[in-house]
């Protein structure tokens, strides 16, 4: 009988795990149906582990009593996230479902930006007094552990006015002698963050110092809450997803790919495509300006795709590397001149490599004279010099554009690969035909 009971429990557990794994592939109706079929304990486990967007989807269709039941399961910071996800027009409705204490905490959290420390933090953390003994602290920790606290890794030592005096890990508390004062063993050098610090910067601090939680304090050192590693991991994932979308020339999607409507999908993608299309129209303008050269030396038109794609590719490479380095904190605004020096060398070396390949491709081709005419050597030299210049220009443009955008207050990720490629396409044609006019002057032109 015990074996059968254990088997049933394992099957129940696996059903929750299985549902979690396939959740993203289910339709909204299928999710609601399967969610209602779960026992209450399993449903709670699943609900608490769902992303905020999915929680909002389930709650939006629930009755008032069900909605109240599910919302009260969430910690204050998760309720704040839910309100921000569902929209401020649902704010009062959701707040009315909470007990007075939680309601006050959620209102306080909503005062901060969603992507800042204040918007990510939880106001429920373990508090101690400096004058407590270890025995008193352990007894007090037992009481606090029964309530909903966000983290059980650290206890924060506060004075009567809630100023942060120190921090102590649970290991340090339990390994100390019973009569030892907390003030004697706490760490007074505390790494802390202000409420307005951006989530990307917080993520870098977590990564650099291998922490599980960070205290959030105001300008008077009054502790407001803690940001935990799991909250930051989720926020950084969202930030990275947004940056990747921008790098691809797409507005950030507000929902998972399979959940966003076709109209929204088209709307998110059409804007950038239209801008890039208008930018590429200048390519036709540039070619029109050099129409005489093209008519006199039609062979030049054969290499236009090669020339402009090489410049766009080099620019896209450079912009992607710099944007990611900025996101990781490896490169700062003041490092632009060092980056410029490195990219000048890299662009020149890459341009020479591609230029030599282009030169050899023309010179050793068996039917070179028939394809490129009697002045094929000059054509080869034109292509080689153009490739060096365009790849160098593309590398410089791609690496410096993120710095320029950050300097004027825009997101560096807006320097997307398609945007850089479009810019270099237009300027690349000007470089190409300018080189051709110089090298082929008196021969083909």
Of the three residues 183, 207, 230, the one that is the final residue of a domain is 230
Of the three residues 76, 111, 146, the one that is the final residue of a domain is 111
C-alpha pair distances (Å), 22 with each of 16, 172, 290, 370: 10, 42, 57, 61
87 and 226 assigned to the same domain: no
Whether residues 287 and 419 share a domain: the answer is yes
Residue 8: what pLDDT? Answer: 44
Residues of the chain with pLDDT under 70: 1-15, 146-152, 247, 249, 254-258, 414-416, 444-445
Please indicate, yes or no, if residue 121 is contained in any of the structural domains: no
Last residue of a domain, one of 181, 212, 230: 230
Backbone dihedral angles phi then psi of residue 226, each to the nearest 5 degrees: -130, 145
DSSP per position, 57-122: HHHHTS-HHHHHHHHTTS-HHHHHHHHHHH-GGGHHHHHTTS-HHHHHHHHHHHTS-TTBHHHH-B
Q: What CA–CA distance (Å, rounded) separates 324 from 330? A: 9
Q: Are 182 and 128 in contact (CB under 8 A)?
A: yes
Task: Say whether both 26 and 61 belong to one domain.
Answer: yes
- Beta bridge partner(s), residue 216: 193, 225
| Rounded distance between C-alpha atoms, residue 386 and residue 352, angstroms | 10
CATH number at residue 397: 1.10.357.20
- This model's pTM is above 0.75: no
CB atoms within 10 A of CB 27: 10
- Whether 118 is in a domain gets the answer no
Report the CATH number that the domain containing residue 157 is assigned in CATH. 3.10.580.10
Q: Are 99 and 107 in contact (CB under 8 A)?
A: no
| Residue 416, helix vs strand vs coil | coil
Does residue 255 belong to any structural domain of this protein?
Answer: no
Please tell me the predicted confidence (pLDDT) of residue 338: 92
Q: Are residues 273 and 419 in the same domain?
A: yes
* Helices 376-407, 304-327: crossing angle, 10 deg rounding: 30
CATH of the domain at 37: 1.25.60.10
Q: What residues are paired with 227 via a beta bridge? A: 214
Q: What is the pLDDT of residues 37-85, one digit of tens each?
A: 888 888 888 888 888 888 888 888 888 888 898 899 888 888 888 888 8
Do 202 and 339 belong together in one domain?
Answer: no
Predicted local confidence at residue 249, as pLDDT: 67
User: How far apart (Å, rounded) are the C-alpha atoms in residues 75 and 283?
Assistant: 55
Phi, psi of 163, deg, nearest 5: -75, 140
Task: Confirm whether 313 is domain-assigned.
Answer: yes
For residue range 371-421, what is the model confidence (pLDDT) as tens digits?
777 888 998 999 999 999 999 999 999 999 889 888 888 878 766 677 787
Range of the structural domain that residue 189 is part of = 127-230
pLDDT at 280: 72
Instruction: Give DSSP secondary structure letters for 154-198.
Output: EEEEE-TT-BEEEEEEHHHHHHS-TT-BHHHHSB-----B-TT-B
336 with 192, same domain: the answer is: no
Q: Are residues 310 and 216 in the same domain?
A: no
What is the rounded distance in angstroms from the CA atom of residue 313 to the CA atom of residue 349? Answer: 15
| Cα 18 to Cα 38: distance, rounded to the nearest angstrom | 12
Residue 246 placed within a domain: no
The residues facing 116 across adjacent strands are 198
Angle subtended at Cα 347 by Cα 342 and Cα 348, rounded to the nearest 5 degrees: 105
**Which is it for strands 154-158 and 127-128: parallel, antiparallel or unpaired?**
parallel
In a domain, 89, yes or no: yes
Same domain, 328 and 403: yes
Question: Structural domain tally of the chain?
Answer: 3
Distance CA 333, CA 319 (A): 14
Helix (H, G, I), strand (E, B) or coil at 213: strand
Q: Does 420 fall in a domain?
A: yes
- The torsion angles phi and psi of 114, rounded to 5 degrees, stand at -65, -35
Q: What is the pLDDT of residue 41?
A: 87
Q: What is the pLDDT of residue 145?
A: 72
pLDDT for position 9? 45
For residues 270 and 321, state if they share a domain. yes
**Do 289 and 389 share a domain, yes or no?**
yes
Same domain, 269 and 412: yes
| Residue 392 near residue 344, CB atoms below 8 Å | yes
Q: What angle do CA 72, 164, 107 make, to 5 degrees?
A: 30
| Within-domain flag for 257 | no
The answer to whether residues 125 and 156 touch, using CB atoms and an 8 Å cutoff, is yes
Helices marked H in 364-416 — which ranges?
Answer: 368-372, 376-407
Other beta carbons within 10 angstroms of residue 214's beta carbon come to 28
β-bridge mates for residue 226, sequence order: 122, 215
One domain for residues 51 and 88 = yes
């Amino acid at each position: 009988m015990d074996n059968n009971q254990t088997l049933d429990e394992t099957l129940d557990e696996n059903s929750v795990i299985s549902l979690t794994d396939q959740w993203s592939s289910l339709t909204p109706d299928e999710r609601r149906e399967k969610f209602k079929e779960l026992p209450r304990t399993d449903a709670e486990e699943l609900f608490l582990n769902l992303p905020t967007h999915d929680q909002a989807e389930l709650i939006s269709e629930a009755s008032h009593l069900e909605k109240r039941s599910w919302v009260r399961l969430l910690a204050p910071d998760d309720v704040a996230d839910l309100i921000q996800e569902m929209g401020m027009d649902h704010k009062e409705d959701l707040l009315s479902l909470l007990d007075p204490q939680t309601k006050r905490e959620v209102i306080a959290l909503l005062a901060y930006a969603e992507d800042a420390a204040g918007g990510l933090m939880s106001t429920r953390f373990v508090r101690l007094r400096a004058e407590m003994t270890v025995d008193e602290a352990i007894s007090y920790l037992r009481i606090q552990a029964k309530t909903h606290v966000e983290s059980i890794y650290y206890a924060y030592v506060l004075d009567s006015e809630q100023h942060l005096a120190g921090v102590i890990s649970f290991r340090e508390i339990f390994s100390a002698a019973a009569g030892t004062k907390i003030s004697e063993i706490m760490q007074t050098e505390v790494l802390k963050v202000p409420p307005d610090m951006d989530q990307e910067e917080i993520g870098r601090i977590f990564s650099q110092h291998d922490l599980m939680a960070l205290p959030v304090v105001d300008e008077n050192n009054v502790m407001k809450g803690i940001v935990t590693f799991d909250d930051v991991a989720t926020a950084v994932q969202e930030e990275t997803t947004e940056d990747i979308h921008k790098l691809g020339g797409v507005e950030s999607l507000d929902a998972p790919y399979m959940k966003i409507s076709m109209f929204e999908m088209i709307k998110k993608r059409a804007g950038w495509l239209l801008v890039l299309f208008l930018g590429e129209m200048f390519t036709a303008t540039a070619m029109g300006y050099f129409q005489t050269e093209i008519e006199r030396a039609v062979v030049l038109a054969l290499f236009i795709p090669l020339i402009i794609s090489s410049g766009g590719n080099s620019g896209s490479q450079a912009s992607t590397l710099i944007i990611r380095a900025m996101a990781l904190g490896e490169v700062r605004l003041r490092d632009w001149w060092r980056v410029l020096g490195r990219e000048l060398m890299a662009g020149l070396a890459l341009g020479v490599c591609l230029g030599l390949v282009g030169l050899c491709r023309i010179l050793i081709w068996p039917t070179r004279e028939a394809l490129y005419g009697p002045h094929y050597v000059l054509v080869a030299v034109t292509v080689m010099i153009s490739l060096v210049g365009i790849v160098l220009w593309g590398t410089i443009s791609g690496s410096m554009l993120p710095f320029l955008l950050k300097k004027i207050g825009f997101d560096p990720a807006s320097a997307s690969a398609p945007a850089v490629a479009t810019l270099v396409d237009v300027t690349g044609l000007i470089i190409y035909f300018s080189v051709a006019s110089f090298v082929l002057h008196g021969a083909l032109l």
